Structures are given as C-alpha cells and as structure tokens.
Amino acid sequence: MNSTLDGNQSNHPFCLLAFGYLETVDFCLLEVLIIVFLTVLIISGNIIVIFVFHCAPLLNHHTTSYFIQTMAYADLLVGVSCLVPSLSLLHYPLPVEESLTCQVFGFIVSVLKSVSMTSLACISIDRYIAITKPLTYNTLVTPWRLRLCIFLIWLYSILVFLPSFFHWGKPGYHGDVFQWCAESWRTDPYFTLFIVMMLYAPAALIVCFTYFNIFRICQQHTKEISERQARFSSQSGETGEMQACPDKRYAMVLFRITSVFYILWLPYIVYFLLESSTGHSNRFASFLTTWLAISNSFCNCVIYSLSNSVFQRGLKRLSGAMCTSCASQVIAKDPYTVRSKGPLNGCHV
C-alpha cells in the first residue's frame, strides 16, 4: 500500500506551494495564478511606460528618463522571462533539458533585477547631484556619460552573476519553480556573500545615503523658505498663506519609493542570507520572497513614472491622441450616424 501511495505522489507535478495543487487540473494552480498575474501586470505596465517615452520626446530631455527607460526595458524582459516557468508549470514541453532551462532562467532574471536595482541607485545619485550641485549639474551629467553609465550597468550585472555557470552556486531562487533548481542546485555561502558585497550592499548604502541627504537638504530649504516668508510678512504687514515647498513634496515621493523598494526586496535578501548560511530551505518562503521581489518590476514603473508630472502629461497626450484616432475611425466607418449625434467630445484631455 505504501508503494501505491508513493507511486501516486510521484505522478504529482512538482509544486513549491503543495497546497495549491489540484488533481482535477493536474498542475500547480496557485503558483500558475500568481506567476501569470504578476507577468501580465509587469508586461502591460512597462509596455505603457516604454510606449509613452517613445511617443513623448519631451520626456527624453530629463536625465532620469535614461534610467527609467532602462528599468522599464529590464522589467519588461523580466515579465517576458516569467512566461517560461508559467509554461513549464502548465506542462508545455521545454526546448532544452530542465537543468539548463532553470539555470539560464535564474541567471537572466538575476541580471535583469540587478540592472533594475542598480538603476534605482543611479537615479538616487543623479537626484543627489542635481540638488547638491545645481550649477555644475549640466556639465557633470551629460547624455554621453549617461549612456556609458547604462552600458556599465548591464555589463556589471552580467559579470556579477556569470560565475553561477562555473559551479560557484545558485544566484537566487527565481528558478526554483523547476524541480532541478529547487532540489539539486544549492546556494553557496561564499557566492552569496560575493553577491551581497558586490550588489545588494552597495546599492542599499547608496540609496540610503543619497535619499537621506536629499531629505535633509529639502528640510533645510523648507525651513529657509518659511523664515523668509515670515520675515517678508512681518515687514509688509500682510499675512499670506504658507505654500508647500516642492522640494519637500519631492523628498516625500523619494521616501515612499525607498520604502516600497525595501519592503519588497528585504525579505528576499534576508532569506537568501539565512538559507545560504544555515543550509535549511523552505519552499513556501522561497516562492513568496522571490515573487514578492519580482513584483517590484511592476511597482517601479508605477511609482517612478506616474509620480513624474512630465510623464503624466505625456500619458494624457498619448491617451488624447488614441481617442482622436479612434474617433476618426468611427467617423470614417459611419459618418452619417456620427453627424446626427453631434461631435465626439469625450476624448479631450
């Protein structure tokens, strides 16, 4: 009877979330739903960002747009890469053996997330230079240097995770939806320490240092503006309303961005360190922390782009252009009906 039970268990597909398996559909339902849902959000969100940047040339006048577009392309590729484990969980045949597939998938996603993380750090450096050295900013930050920086970001990310192909260890848990990666590909404490020291720690320190100083400088500016307004009001005898300083609002946006970034990535990094040092793994924790970190690919485009007023104007113009195009097609198909109903005014922005 034990052999029968073992045989039935062996026929079950490999699921990190065992309670998400249903015999009626014969695949890991919960894992598929989570991965497909995140994949759709990541791909659709970053396509919108890329499309707006290409259709609104004014956005390219801002230096941060170089890094935002780099993040958008990297995050879009993360979403496309996530189609591989989705198809595998749905029992679609893989073109190559599972061990190579999960290694390549883990390497690609690790590199892409490294590009996104490094771009976040570069954005914080760019904003720090803009606030601390506004007079020399245009001479320090040039388009040529930005392109070189983006090239180095990609090259550096590839070099950090390339040793995973030379038996240094597993670079992360992105490929653990494949059974070979979860059971046969182990993390190495020295390789984990190497990744932390070369990527996670520098990025975290840069973000913390730059945003802390940006917020401190913004508070100083707000205090100076308040004192000047109070002095002017006392001299003129008029009491005007205090206007909110835009620097302070921008600092709060940066604080929210940093908070979301660490909320999504900190559990993954902590689990990565604990699993590598102790050797004890938990499939549920591995899946949860990994895909929570991957969800940052969608949050990046929402927070960085939708908090940008220039991007918002570009999105409105793009939406207006699409509405105008749709209206012109309707008129071309049935001009008499449109004329009887009057002009289409619903697409004005």
| Closest of 255, 258, 250, 261 to residue 297, by C-alpha | 261
d(CA 177, CA 88): 9
- pLDDT value of residue 306: 65
What backbone phi and psi angles, to 5 degrees, belong to 28? Answer: -75, 90
d(CA 34, CA 158): 27
Q: How many domains does the chain have?
A: 1
Look at residue 13 and tell me if it is in a domain.
no
- pLDDT value of residue 263: 85
Look at residue 327 and tell me if it is in a domain.
no
- pLDDT value of residue 150: 94
pLDDT along the chain (349 residues), means of 10: 39 56 56 84 87 71 78 89 73 70 85 88 87 87 91 95 86 71 79 89 89 82 76 61 55 69 84 80 80 83 67 72 66 54 43
d(CA 141, CA 136): 9
d(CA 143, CA 62): 10
Look at residue 117 and tell me if it is in a domain.
yes
| pLDDT tens, residue by residue, 237-247 | 554 445 555 55
H helical segments located in 82-186: 83-89, 98-132, 137-140, 143-161, 179-183
| pLDDT tens, residue by residue, 13-39 | 556 665 544 444 455 677 778 888 888
- Please tell me the pTM assigned to this model: 0.77
DSSP secondary structure letter of residue 200:
I
Q: 107 is written with which tokens?
A: 């390497």
Distance from CA of residue 270 to its chain's centroid?
19
User: In this structure, is the dihedral angle defined by the CA atoms of residues 178, 94, 37 and 290, taken in order, positive or negative?
Assistant: positive
Look at residue 152 and tell me if it is in a domain.
yes
Range of the domain at 125: 23-227+246-313
Find the CATH number of the domain harbouring 304: 1.20.1070.10
- pLDDT value of residue 252: 66
Q: 247 is written with which tokens?
A: 């620097």
Look at residue 205 and tell me if it is in a domain.
yes
Look at residue 65 and tell me if it is in a domain.
yes
Look at residue 4 and tell me if it is in a domain.
no
| pLDDT tens, residue by residue, 69-80 | 888 899 899 888
Q: What is the DSSP string of 227-279?
A: HHHHHHHHHHT--PPPPPPHHHHHHHHHHHHHHHHHHHHHHHHHHHHHHHHH-
Look at residue 125 and tell me if it is in a domain.
yes
